[in-house]
Amino acid sequence: MSRGLGWKQRYLLGRLGSRSLTFAEIHREIIGPEYPEFVLKPAAERSWRRALQNLIKRDVIITTGRGRPGDPYRYHFNPLIAAIAGDDEAYNAALARIEASESATTG
């Protein structure tokens, strides 16, 4: 049984804390800008996707978008986590990012 978040989940939360990203953007962050032609092995990509899905299942991360070409899923830090922690500034910033992402996909 897990005793908390794994290192991949903590890494993802660190990247999503201040912005929203698609999986392709997360993939580029994992690899780094110095190796743009590098591709993760399928097992490694599945592992990162599992870590992301586990955070979604725990309601730490929420998604917007339809998951299709032209409208990929965007992953956001759940603003309710910041609200529960009493951080109004982080809550308002996360909420603004989500609203901007949703208005960009619908309009």
- Phi, psi for residue 64 in degrees, rounded to 5: -130, 165
User: Do the beta carbons of residue 71 and residue 65 sit within 8 Å?
Assistant: yes
- pTM value > 0.85: no
- Phi, psi for residue 72 in degrees, rounded to 5: -70, 160
Segments in the chain below pLDDT 50: 1
The predicted pLDDT at position 52 comes to 94
The predicted pLDDT at position 49 comes to 93
